[in-house]
Structure 1
Amino acid sequence: MPVRPDVDNPAGSVLCADDGTPLARMRLHDDDGQRVAADVRPWPGVALTAVAAQARHDLAGLRLETPDDGLVGALVAGGLELRSAATELRHDLTGLPEPPTLPTGWTLAVPGWDDDLARACDAAYGPDHPGGRWQADDTRQIRAMFDSHDPVPPLRTASARVVGPDGRSAGHVLCAGPVPWTEDVCGWILNIAVAPHAQGNGLGRALLVHALHGTRAAGLPTLGLSVVDRNPARRLYDDIGFRTHRRVLSVRLPGPGEHPAPN
Protein backbone atom coordinates (compact mmCIF):
# COMPACT_ATOMS: atom_id res chain seq x y z
CA MET A 1 0.00 0.00 0.00
CA PRO A 2 1.75 3.23 -1.18
CA VAL A 3 0.30 5.33 1.70
CA ARG A 4 0.01 3.58 5.05
CA PRO A 5 -0.39 4.63 8.70
CA ASP A 6 2.76 5.60 10.57
CA VAL A 7 3.14 3.07 13.39
CA ASP A 8 5.36 5.52 15.29
CA ASN A 9 2.89 8.42 15.01
CA PRO A 10 -0.85 7.75 15.17
CA ALA A 11 -1.56 11.10 13.50
CA GLY A 12 0.91 10.49 10.68
CA SER A 13 1.20 8.56 7.44
CA VAL A 14 4.04 7.08 5.42
CA LEU A 15 4.47 7.37 1.66
CA CYS A 16 5.87 4.10 0.36
CA ALA A 17 7.28 2.85 -2.92
CA ASP A 18 5.27 0.21 -4.79
CA ASP A 19 7.37 -2.51 -3.14
CA GLY A 20 6.60 -1.15 0.34
CA THR A 21 9.89 0.68 0.92
CA PRO A 22 9.20 3.77 3.09
CA LEU A 23 9.97 7.02 1.28
CA ALA A 24 8.63 9.86 3.45
CA ARG A 25 6.69 10.67 6.60
CA MET A 26 3.80 13.16 6.45
CA ARG A 27 0.47 14.27 7.93
CA LEU A 28 -2.68 14.17 5.80
CA HIS A 29 -5.45 16.66 6.56
CA ASP A 30 -8.04 18.93 4.93
CA ASP A 31 -7.64 22.69 4.71
CA ASP A 32 -10.86 24.42 3.63
CA GLY A 33 -11.72 21.65 1.19
CA GLN A 34 -8.16 21.14 -0.06
CA ARG A 35 -6.48 17.84 0.82
CA VAL A 36 -2.97 18.51 2.14
CA ALA A 37 0.08 16.31 2.61
CA ALA A 38 1.79 18.35 5.32
CA ASP A 39 5.29 18.25 6.81
CA VAL A 40 6.52 15.76 4.18
CA ARG A 41 9.96 14.59 5.32
CA PRO A 42 11.90 12.18 3.10
CA TRP A 43 13.21 9.02 4.73
CA PRO A 44 16.96 9.23 5.40
CA GLY A 45 18.99 7.96 2.48
CA VAL A 46 16.21 7.70 -0.10
CA ALA A 47 16.54 9.33 -3.51
CA LEU A 48 14.56 12.56 -3.61
CA THR A 49 13.63 11.88 -7.23
CA ALA A 50 11.95 8.67 -6.06
CA VAL A 51 10.00 10.54 -3.37
CA ALA A 52 8.92 13.18 -5.90
CA ALA A 53 7.77 10.59 -8.45
CA GLN A 54 5.81 8.56 -5.88
CA ALA A 55 4.22 11.69 -4.46
CA ARG A 56 3.05 12.78 -7.91
CA HIS A 57 1.51 9.34 -8.43
CA ASP A 58 -0.06 8.61 -5.02
CA LEU A 59 -0.76 12.14 -3.75
CA ALA A 60 -2.10 13.53 -7.05
CA GLY A 61 -4.28 16.59 -6.58
CA LEU A 62 -3.02 17.33 -3.07
CA ARG A 63 -1.07 20.33 -1.84
CA LEU A 64 2.32 19.10 -0.66
CA GLU A 65 4.01 21.02 2.14
CA THR A 66 7.57 20.25 3.17
CA PRO A 67 10.57 21.86 4.89
CA ASP A 68 12.89 19.96 2.52
CA ASP A 69 14.45 22.18 -0.18
CA GLY A 70 15.83 19.13 -1.99
CA LEU A 71 12.40 17.54 -2.40
CA VAL A 72 10.97 20.80 -3.72
CA GLY A 73 13.91 21.01 -6.11
CA ALA A 74 13.11 17.54 -7.45
CA LEU A 75 9.44 18.46 -7.94
CA VAL A 76 10.29 21.75 -9.65
CA ALA A 77 12.79 19.97 -11.91
CA GLY A 78 9.88 17.77 -12.98
CA GLY A 79 7.87 20.76 -14.15
CA LEU A 80 5.93 21.75 -11.04
CA GLU A 81 5.79 25.20 -9.47
CA LEU A 82 6.77 26.35 -6.00
CA ARG A 83 3.54 28.02 -4.90
CA SER A 84 4.78 29.59 -1.67
CA ALA A 85 7.71 29.69 0.72
CA ALA A 86 6.89 30.57 4.30
CA THR A 87 8.04 30.15 7.88
CA GLU A 88 5.87 28.91 10.70
CA LEU A 89 6.51 30.84 13.92
CA ARG A 90 5.52 30.08 17.50
CA HIS A 91 5.32 32.19 20.67
CA ASP A 92 5.44 30.36 24.03
CA LEU A 93 3.33 33.10 25.68
CA THR A 94 5.91 33.89 28.35
CA GLY A 95 7.31 37.34 29.03
CA LEU A 96 4.46 39.01 27.17
CA PRO A 97 4.73 42.76 26.57
CA GLU A 98 2.15 45.02 28.16
CA PRO A 99 -0.65 46.16 25.83
CA PRO A 100 0.47 49.44 24.26
CA THR A 101 -1.49 52.66 24.62
CA LEU A 102 -3.43 53.37 21.45
CA PRO A 103 -3.44 56.82 19.81
CA THR A 104 -6.29 59.12 20.83
CA GLY A 105 -9.57 58.04 19.27
CA TRP A 106 -8.44 54.50 18.40
CA THR A 107 -9.85 51.48 20.23
CA LEU A 108 -9.88 47.69 20.10
CA ALA A 109 -13.40 46.34 19.62
CA VAL A 110 -15.05 42.92 19.69
CA PRO A 111 -14.17 40.70 16.73
CA GLY A 112 -16.50 40.50 13.78
CA TRP A 113 -16.77 41.35 10.11
CA ASP A 114 -18.19 44.34 8.29
CA ASP A 115 -17.80 46.11 4.97
CA ASP A 116 -15.27 48.60 6.36
CA LEU A 117 -13.07 45.74 7.51
CA ALA A 118 -13.38 44.06 4.11
CA ARG A 119 -12.16 47.26 2.45
CA ALA A 120 -9.33 47.58 5.00
CA CYS A 121 -8.09 44.04 4.28
CA ASP A 122 -8.40 44.55 0.53
CA ALA A 123 -6.25 47.68 0.80
CA ALA A 124 -3.71 46.07 3.16
CA TYR A 125 -3.25 43.04 0.89
CA GLY A 126 -2.69 44.91 -2.36
CA PRO A 127 -1.21 43.61 -5.62
CA ASP A 128 2.37 43.94 -4.34
CA HIS A 129 1.83 42.12 -1.04
CA PRO A 130 4.22 39.12 -0.72
CA GLY A 131 1.34 36.92 0.44
CA GLY A 132 -0.79 37.78 -2.56
CA ARG A 133 -3.74 40.06 -3.17
CA TRP A 134 -6.88 39.86 -1.03
CA GLN A 135 -9.49 37.71 -2.75
CA ALA A 136 -13.26 37.43 -2.52
CA ASP A 137 -12.70 33.89 -1.22
CA ASP A 138 -10.75 35.31 1.74
CA THR A 139 -13.81 37.31 2.74
CA ARG A 140 -16.03 34.25 2.24
CA GLN A 141 -13.83 32.14 4.52
CA ILE A 142 -13.82 34.72 7.32
CA ARG A 143 -17.59 35.18 7.10
CA ALA A 144 -18.00 31.39 7.32
CA MET A 145 -15.94 31.31 10.52
CA PHE A 146 -18.21 33.86 12.19
CA ASP A 147 -21.49 32.63 10.69
CA SER A 148 -21.12 28.84 10.87
CA HIS A 149 -17.79 28.13 12.61
CA ASP A 150 -16.48 26.64 9.35
CA PRO A 151 -13.83 25.24 9.40
CA VAL A 152 -13.17 26.46 12.96
CA PRO A 153 -14.73 29.15 15.16
CA PRO A 154 -12.85 32.35 15.96
CA LEU A 155 -10.92 32.38 19.22
CA ARG A 156 -12.76 35.44 20.50
CA THR A 157 -10.50 36.17 23.48
CA ALA A 158 -7.57 36.58 21.07
CA SER A 159 -9.36 38.28 18.15
CA ALA A 160 -10.26 41.96 17.83
CA ARG A 161 -11.05 44.78 15.43
CA VAL A 162 -9.29 48.12 15.56
CA VAL A 163 -11.69 51.03 15.20
CA GLY A 164 -10.74 54.60 14.31
CA PRO A 165 -11.98 57.98 15.56
CA ASP A 166 -14.65 57.85 12.84
CA GLY A 167 -16.09 54.65 14.35
CA ARG A 168 -15.11 52.53 11.35
CA SER A 169 -13.10 49.32 11.33
CA ALA A 170 -9.57 49.83 10.04
CA GLY A 171 -8.03 46.42 10.73
CA HIS A 172 -8.22 43.30 12.80
CA VAL A 173 -6.54 40.21 14.14
CA LEU A 174 -8.39 36.91 13.69
CA CYS A 175 -7.31 33.89 15.72
CA ALA A 176 -8.54 30.32 16.17
CA GLY A 177 -7.51 27.55 18.47
CA PRO A 178 -6.73 24.91 19.10
CA VAL A 179 -6.51 24.23 15.36
CA PRO A 180 -6.59 20.79 13.69
CA TRP A 181 -3.84 21.40 11.14
CA THR A 182 -0.88 21.52 13.55
CA GLU A 183 0.82 18.65 15.32
CA ASP A 184 1.04 20.68 18.52
CA VAL A 185 -1.74 22.27 20.58
CA CYS A 186 -1.74 25.98 19.88
CA GLY A 187 -3.72 29.04 18.94
CA TRP A 188 -3.25 30.36 15.43
CA ILE A 189 -3.31 33.81 13.83
CA LEU A 190 -5.30 33.34 10.63
CA ASN A 191 -5.19 36.96 9.56
CA ILE A 192 -3.85 40.28 10.79
CA ALA A 193 -4.23 43.46 8.79
CA VAL A 194 -4.26 47.24 9.19
CA ALA A 195 -5.49 49.50 6.40
CA PRO A 196 -2.73 51.60 4.82
CA HIS A 197 -4.30 54.88 5.98
CA ALA A 198 -4.08 53.68 9.60
CA GLN A 199 -0.57 52.26 9.51
CA GLY A 200 2.27 53.91 11.42
CA ASN A 201 0.25 54.26 14.64
CA GLY A 202 1.38 51.05 16.35
CA LEU A 203 -1.96 49.37 15.67
CA GLY A 204 -0.43 46.19 14.28
CA ARG A 205 1.63 45.74 17.44
CA ALA A 206 -1.43 46.41 19.59
CA LEU A 207 -3.44 43.75 17.74
CA LEU A 208 -0.59 41.27 18.01
CA VAL A 209 -0.14 41.84 21.77
CA HIS A 210 -3.90 41.44 22.21
CA ALA A 211 -3.73 38.10 20.39
CA LEU A 212 -0.91 36.87 22.64
CA HIS A 213 -2.69 37.80 25.88
CA GLY A 214 -6.01 36.45 24.62
CA THR A 215 -4.49 33.12 23.61
CA ARG A 216 -2.92 32.72 27.04
CA ALA A 217 -6.24 33.65 28.68
CA ALA A 218 -7.89 30.87 26.66
CA GLY A 219 -5.53 28.36 28.29
CA LEU A 220 -3.54 27.52 25.17
CA PRO A 221 0.24 27.00 25.54
CA THR A 222 1.46 28.67 22.34
CA LEU A 223 0.39 30.96 19.51
CA GLY A 224 1.46 30.28 15.94
CA LEU A 225 1.32 31.93 12.56
CA SER A 226 2.74 31.55 9.08
CA VAL A 227 4.60 34.38 7.36
CA VAL A 228 5.61 34.28 3.70
CA ASP A 229 9.11 35.19 2.61
CA ARG A 230 9.75 38.92 2.07
CA ASN A 231 6.82 39.99 4.26
CA PRO A 232 8.09 43.06 6.18
CA ALA A 233 5.80 42.12 9.10
CA ARG A 234 8.36 39.42 9.95
CA ARG A 235 10.41 42.07 11.77
CA LEU A 236 7.50 42.80 14.13
CA TYR A 237 6.92 39.09 14.83
CA ASP A 238 10.59 38.56 15.66
CA ASP A 239 10.71 41.67 17.84
CA ILE A 240 7.67 40.64 19.86
CA GLY A 241 9.08 37.20 20.65
CA PHE A 242 7.95 34.77 17.94
CA ARG A 243 10.54 32.13 17.05
CA THR A 244 10.98 29.90 14.01
CA HIS A 245 9.19 26.58 14.27
CA ARG A 246 9.79 25.26 10.75
CA ARG A 247 9.96 26.20 7.09
CA VAL A 248 7.01 25.38 4.84
CA LEU A 249 7.49 25.09 1.08
CA SER A 250 4.26 24.43 -0.83
CA VAL A 251 3.76 22.71 -4.17
CA ARG A 252 0.47 21.61 -5.70
CA LEU A 253 0.66 18.12 -7.19
CA PRO A 254 -1.26 17.73 -10.47
CA GLY A 255 -4.51 15.81 -10.24
CA PRO A 256 -5.58 12.98 -12.54
CA GLY A 257 -5.56 14.15 -16.14
CA GLU A 258 -3.30 17.15 -15.43
CA HIS A 259 0.05 16.90 -17.17
CA PRO A 260 2.31 19.94 -16.73
CA ALA A 261 5.14 19.99 -19.19
CA PRO A 262 8.60 19.21 -17.71
CA ASN A 263 11.05 22.10 -17.46
Structure 2
Amino acid sequence: MPLHPDIEDPADSLLSADDGTVLARLRIRDDDGERVAGQVRPLPRAALNHVATQARRDLAGLRLDTPDDGLADALVATGLKLRRAATDMRHDLVDIPAPVALPTGWSLGVPGWDDDLAEGLAAAYGPDHPDGAWQTRDTEQIRAMFDDGQPVSPLLPASARLVGPDGRSTGHVLCAGPVPWTDDVCAWVLNLALAPRAQGRGLGQALLTHALHGAREAGLPAVGLSVADGNPARRMYDNAGFQPLTRVLSVLLPPPSDPW
Protein backbone atom coordinates (compact mmCIF):
# COMPACT_ATOMS: atom_id res chain seq x y z
CA MET A 1 0.00 0.00 0.00
CA PRO A 2 1.54 3.36 -0.98
CA LEU A 3 2.21 6.13 1.48
CA HIS A 4 -0.82 8.20 2.33
CA PRO A 5 -1.42 11.37 4.37
CA ASP A 6 -2.21 11.22 8.06
CA ILE A 7 -5.65 12.80 8.44
CA GLU A 8 -4.84 13.64 12.07
CA ASP A 9 -1.70 15.57 11.08
CA PRO A 10 -1.45 16.51 7.38
CA ALA A 11 2.28 17.20 7.78
CA ASP A 12 2.81 13.49 8.42
CA SER A 13 2.59 10.54 6.07
CA LEU A 14 1.71 6.98 7.05
CA LEU A 15 3.62 3.87 6.06
CA SER A 16 1.18 0.98 5.92
CA ALA A 17 1.25 -2.75 5.27
CA ASP A 18 -0.53 -4.23 2.25
CA ASP A 19 -3.60 -4.93 4.39
CA GLY A 20 -3.82 -1.29 5.44
CA THR A 21 -2.33 -1.69 8.91
CA VAL A 22 -0.43 1.48 9.78
CA LEU A 23 3.19 0.68 10.65
CA ALA A 24 4.88 4.07 11.07
CA ARG A 25 4.52 7.83 10.81
CA LEU A 26 7.05 9.95 8.94
CA ARG A 27 7.62 13.23 7.14
CA ILE A 28 8.85 13.45 3.56
CA ARG A 29 11.11 16.40 2.82
CA ASP A 30 13.96 17.58 0.62
CA ASP A 31 17.31 18.10 2.31
CA ASP A 32 19.65 20.00 0.00
CA GLY A 33 18.45 18.04 -3.02
CA GLU A 34 18.28 14.71 -1.20
CA ARG A 35 14.84 13.16 -0.71
CA VAL A 36 14.37 12.20 2.94
CA ALA A 37 11.87 10.12 4.86
CA GLY A 38 12.35 11.93 8.14
CA GLN A 39 11.23 11.30 11.71
CA VAL A 40 10.19 7.72 10.92
CA ARG A 41 8.39 6.60 14.08
CA PRO A 42 7.13 3.00 14.20
CA LEU A 43 3.81 2.52 15.95
CA PRO A 44 4.10 0.78 19.34
CA ARG A 45 2.71 -2.59 18.19
CA ALA A 46 4.39 -2.69 14.78
CA ALA A 47 7.03 -5.40 14.31
CA LEU A 48 10.26 -3.61 13.47
CA ASN A 49 11.36 -6.16 10.89
CA HIS A 50 8.00 -5.65 9.15
CA VAL A 51 8.47 -1.86 9.23
CA ALA A 52 11.99 -2.26 7.79
CA THR A 53 10.77 -4.49 4.95
CA GLN A 54 7.91 -2.15 4.06
CA ALA A 55 10.21 0.89 4.22
CA ARG A 56 12.68 -0.71 1.84
CA ARG A 57 9.86 -1.23 -0.63
CA ASP A 58 7.75 1.93 -0.30
CA LEU A 59 10.56 4.38 0.54
CA ALA A 60 13.15 2.95 -1.87
CA GLY A 61 15.79 5.46 -2.93
CA LEU A 62 15.24 7.80 0.02
CA ARG A 63 17.35 8.51 3.06
CA LEU A 64 15.52 7.28 6.12
CA ASP A 65 16.00 9.21 9.36
CA THR A 66 14.61 7.74 12.56
CA PRO A 67 14.99 8.29 16.31
CA ASP A 68 14.26 4.57 16.83
CA ASP A 69 17.39 2.49 17.44
CA GLY A 70 15.41 -0.72 16.94
CA LEU A 71 14.27 0.27 13.44
CA ALA A 72 17.80 1.27 12.48
CA ASP A 73 19.04 -2.12 13.73
CA ALA A 74 16.31 -3.90 11.75
CA LEU A 75 17.36 -2.09 8.55
CA VAL A 76 21.03 -2.92 9.16
CA ALA A 77 20.00 -6.56 9.65
CA THR A 78 18.72 -6.55 6.05
CA GLY A 79 22.22 -5.70 4.81
CA LEU A 80 22.13 -1.91 4.82
CA LYS A 81 24.68 0.34 6.51
CA LEU A 82 24.09 2.98 9.13
CA ARG A 83 25.07 6.21 7.40
CA ARG A 84 25.13 8.40 10.49
CA ALA A 85 24.22 8.26 14.16
CA ALA A 86 23.82 11.65 15.78
CA THR A 87 22.05 13.66 18.45
CA ASP A 88 20.05 16.80 17.73
CA MET A 89 20.65 19.38 20.45
CA ARG A 90 19.11 22.72 21.37
CA HIS A 91 20.19 25.81 23.32
CA ASP A 92 17.33 28.00 24.60
CA LEU A 93 19.53 31.14 24.68
CA VAL A 94 18.51 31.90 28.25
CA ASP A 95 21.93 31.45 29.83
CA ILE A 96 24.59 32.18 27.21
CA PRO A 97 28.31 31.91 28.02
CA ALA A 98 30.21 35.19 27.94
CA PRO A 99 32.13 35.97 24.75
CA VAL A 100 35.55 34.34 24.64
CA ALA A 101 38.61 36.55 24.39
CA LEU A 102 40.69 35.53 21.38
CA PRO A 103 44.46 35.00 21.57
CA THR A 104 46.62 37.86 20.34
CA GLY A 105 46.57 38.09 16.56
CA TRP A 106 43.36 36.10 16.09
CA SER A 107 40.05 37.72 15.10
CA LEU A 108 36.53 36.99 13.91
CA GLY A 109 35.97 38.21 10.37
CA VAL A 110 32.97 38.72 8.11
CA PRO A 111 31.38 35.36 7.26
CA GLY A 112 32.19 34.04 3.83
CA TRP A 113 34.12 31.37 1.97
CA ASP A 114 37.57 31.39 0.45
CA ASP A 115 40.30 28.98 -0.65
CA ASP A 116 42.13 29.16 2.69
CA LEU A 117 39.00 28.10 4.53
CA ALA A 118 38.34 25.29 2.07
CA GLU A 119 41.89 24.03 2.54
CA GLY A 120 41.68 24.21 6.32
CA LEU A 121 38.39 22.35 6.55
CA ALA A 122 39.57 19.66 4.14
CA ALA A 123 42.46 19.06 6.55
CA ALA A 124 40.14 19.11 9.59
CA TYR A 125 37.71 16.56 8.16
CA GLY A 126 39.91 13.56 7.49
CA PRO A 127 38.66 10.06 6.61
CA ASP A 128 38.46 9.13 10.31
CA HIS A 129 36.22 12.07 11.26
CA PRO A 130 32.77 10.95 12.54
CA ASP A 131 31.15 12.90 9.70
CA GLY A 132 33.58 11.57 7.10
CA ALA A 133 36.09 13.33 4.90
CA TRP A 134 35.45 16.77 3.48
CA GLN A 135 34.09 16.49 -0.06
CA THR A 136 34.05 18.83 -3.04
CA ARG A 137 30.26 18.94 -2.75
CA ASP A 138 30.61 20.34 0.78
CA THR A 139 32.50 23.32 -0.59
CA GLU A 140 29.99 23.68 -3.42
CA GLN A 141 27.06 23.69 -0.98
CA ILE A 142 28.59 26.40 1.20
CA ARG A 143 29.46 28.55 -1.81
CA ALA A 144 25.87 28.21 -3.02
CA MET A 145 24.60 29.46 0.34
CA PHE A 146 26.64 32.65 0.04
CA ASP A 147 26.21 33.10 -3.71
CA ASP A 148 22.56 32.16 -4.22
CA GLY A 149 21.02 31.59 -0.78
CA GLN A 150 20.51 27.93 -1.67
CA PRO A 151 19.20 25.85 0.01
CA VAL A 152 19.15 28.48 2.80
CA SER A 153 20.87 31.80 3.30
CA PRO A 154 23.51 32.22 6.01
CA LEU A 155 22.37 33.83 9.24
CA LEU A 156 25.02 36.52 9.13
CA PRO A 157 24.87 37.78 12.75
CA ALA A 158 25.50 34.24 14.01
CA SER A 159 28.20 33.31 11.46
CA ALA A 160 31.87 34.29 11.31
CA ARG A 161 35.24 33.39 9.84
CA LEU A 162 38.19 32.85 12.14
CA VAL A 163 41.23 34.76 10.88
CA GLY A 164 44.71 33.85 12.05
CA PRO A 165 47.71 36.11 12.75
CA ASP A 166 48.80 35.65 9.12
CA GLY A 167 45.50 37.05 7.85
CA ARG A 168 44.32 33.71 6.48
CA SER A 169 40.94 32.13 7.19
CA THR A 170 41.49 29.15 9.47
CA GLY A 171 37.99 28.16 10.61
CA HIS A 172 34.41 29.32 10.78
CA VAL A 173 30.96 28.94 12.25
CA LEU A 174 28.18 28.89 9.67
CA CYS A 175 24.57 29.26 10.81
CA ALA A 176 21.20 29.59 9.12
CA GLY A 177 17.74 30.06 10.46
CA PRO A 178 14.97 29.42 10.66
CA VAL A 179 15.53 26.23 8.66
CA PRO A 180 12.91 24.04 6.95
CA TRP A 181 14.09 20.70 8.34
CA THR A 182 13.07 21.40 11.94
CA ASP A 183 9.60 21.91 13.38
CA ASP A 184 10.74 24.51 15.89
CA VAL A 185 11.85 28.03 15.03
CA CYS A 186 15.58 28.22 15.68
CA ALA A 187 18.95 29.09 14.27
CA TRP A 188 20.93 26.07 13.11
CA VAL A 189 24.68 25.53 13.28
CA LEU A 190 25.42 24.02 9.88
CA ASN A 191 29.16 23.82 10.35
CA LEU A 192 31.68 24.75 13.02
CA ALA A 193 35.20 23.72 12.17
CA LEU A 194 38.83 24.68 12.64
CA ALA A 195 41.90 23.92 10.59
CA PRO A 196 44.33 21.72 12.54
CA ARG A 197 46.68 24.65 13.22
CA ALA A 198 43.87 26.49 15.02
CA GLN A 199 42.76 23.63 17.23
CA GLY A 200 43.50 23.34 20.94
CA ARG A 201 43.35 27.11 21.59
CA GLY A 202 39.74 27.53 22.73
CA LEU A 203 38.81 29.02 19.36
CA GLY A 204 35.97 26.59 18.74
CA GLN A 205 34.34 27.78 21.95
CA ALA A 206 34.77 31.38 20.77
CA LEU A 207 33.00 30.59 17.49
CA LEU A 208 30.18 28.76 19.23
CA THR A 209 29.63 31.57 21.71
CA HIS A 210 29.57 34.06 18.84
CA ALA A 211 26.83 31.97 17.18
CA LEU A 212 24.71 31.95 20.33
CA HIS A 213 24.94 35.71 20.83
CA GLY A 214 24.33 36.32 17.12
CA ALA A 215 21.21 34.13 17.06
CA ARG A 216 19.76 36.02 20.00
CA GLU A 217 20.63 39.32 18.29
CA ALA A 218 18.74 38.07 15.21
CA GLY A 219 15.65 37.51 17.38
CA LEU A 220 15.60 33.72 17.25
CA PRO A 221 14.58 31.87 20.44
CA ALA A 222 16.95 28.90 20.20
CA VAL A 223 19.96 27.41 18.44
CA GLY A 224 20.02 23.83 17.19
CA LEU A 225 22.70 21.55 15.85
CA SER A 226 23.38 17.90 15.11
CA VAL A 227 26.49 16.20 16.48
CA ALA A 228 27.61 12.78 15.28
CA ASP A 229 28.44 10.02 17.72
CA GLY A 230 32.13 10.09 18.51
CA ASN A 231 32.62 13.77 17.67
CA PRO A 232 34.78 15.30 20.45
CA ALA A 233 32.95 18.61 19.94
CA ARG A 234 30.03 17.09 21.87
CA ARG A 235 31.75 18.04 25.14
CA MET A 236 31.99 21.67 24.03
CA TYR A 237 28.28 21.74 23.21
CA ASP A 238 27.39 20.21 26.56
CA ASN A 239 29.55 22.74 28.40
CA ALA A 240 27.94 25.63 26.49
CA GLY A 241 24.47 24.62 27.70
CA PHE A 242 23.09 22.65 24.76
CA GLN A 243 20.58 19.96 25.72
CA PRO A 244 19.93 16.69 23.84
CA LEU A 245 16.63 16.76 21.96
CA THR A 246 16.44 13.57 19.91
CA ARG A 247 18.52 10.85 18.30
CA VAL A 248 18.77 10.77 14.53
CA LEU A 249 19.86 7.54 12.86
CA SER A 250 20.22 7.69 9.07
CA VAL A 251 20.12 4.80 6.60
CA LEU A 252 20.20 5.07 2.81
CA LEU A 253 17.50 2.87 1.27
CA PRO A 254 18.49 1.33 -2.09
CA PRO A 255 16.63 2.48 -5.19
CA PRO A 256 13.90 0.19 -6.54
CA SER A 257 16.22 -1.43 -9.10
CA ASP A 258 18.67 -2.71 -6.46
CA PRO A 259 18.05 -6.38 -5.60
CA TRP A 260 18.08 -7.46 -1.97
TM-score calculated relative to the size of structure 1? 0.96
In structure 2, what is the equivalent of residue 138 of structure 1? Answer: 138
Task: Determine the C-alpha separation between the residues in 2 that align with 1:161 and 1:259.
Answer: 46
Shift of 1:186: 1.2
Shift of 1:222: 1.1
Does 1:252 pair with 2:222?
A: no
In structure 2, what is the equivalent of residue 176 of structure 1? Answer: 176
In structure 1, what is the equivalent of residue 189 of structure 2? Answer: 189
* Identical positions, percent: 68
In structure 2, what is the equivalent of residue 28 of structure 1? Answer: 28
Task: Determine the C-alpha separation between the residues in 2 that align with 1:15 and 1:89.
Answer: 27
Shift of 1:86: 0.7
CA RMSD of aligned residues (A): 1.0
Task: Determine the C-alpha separation between the residues in 1 that align with 2:251 and 2:201.
Answer: 37
Shift of 1:51: 0.8
Per-residue CA distance 1:215-246 (angstroms, 9 max, x = gap): 11111111111111111110000000011010
Task: Determine the C-alpha separation between the residues in 2 that align with 1:10 and 1:245.
Answer: 23
SS in 1 for 2:157: coil
Does 1:86 pair with 2:86?
A: yes
Task: Give the counterpart letter for 1:110 in structure 2.
Answer: V
Shift of 1:80: 1.1
SS in 1 for 2:237: helix
SS in 2 for 1:221: coil
In structure 1, what is the equivalent of residue 114 of structure 2? Answer: 114
**Long gaps (5+) in structure 2:** none
Task: Determine the C-alpha separation between the residues in 2 that align with 1:199 and 1:69.
Answer: 33
Shift of 1:19: 2.2
Matches within 5 A, 1:191-230: 191-230=191-230
In structure 2, what is the equivalent of residue 101 of structure 1? Answer: 101
8 A contact 1:152–1:179 mirrored in 2? yes
In structure 2, what is the equivalent of residue 124 of structure 1? Answer: 124
SS in 1 for 2:10: coil
8 A contact 1:2–1:20 mirrored in 2? no
SS in 1 for 2:11: coil
Shift of 1:2: 2.6
**Long gaps (5+) in structure 1:** none
Task: Determine the C-alpha separation between the residues in 2 that align with 1:177 and 1:8.
Answer: 28
Shift of 1:12: 1.5
Task: Determine the C-alpha separation between the residues in 1 that align with 2:80 and 2:128.
Answer: 23
Task: Give the counterpart letter for 2:151 in structure 1.
Answer: P
8 A contact 1:38–1:66 mirrored in 2? yes
8 A contact 1:144–1:150 mirrored in 2? yes
Per-residue CA distance 1:49-90 (angstroms, 9 max, x = gap): 111111111100000011111111111111111111111111
SS in 1 for 2:245: strand
In structure 2, what is the equivalent of residue 60 of structure 1? Answer: 60
Task: Determine the C-alpha separation between the residues in 2 that align with 1:149 and 1:224.
Answer: 20
TM-score calculated relative to the size of structure 2? 0.97
SS in 1 for 2:137: helix
In structure 1, what is the equivalent of residue 147 of structure 2? Answer: 147
Per-residue CA distance 1:127-160 (angstroms, 9 max, x = gap): 2211111111100000000011110000101000
Task: Determine the C-alpha separation between the residues in 2 that align with 1:259 and 1:136.
Answer: 30
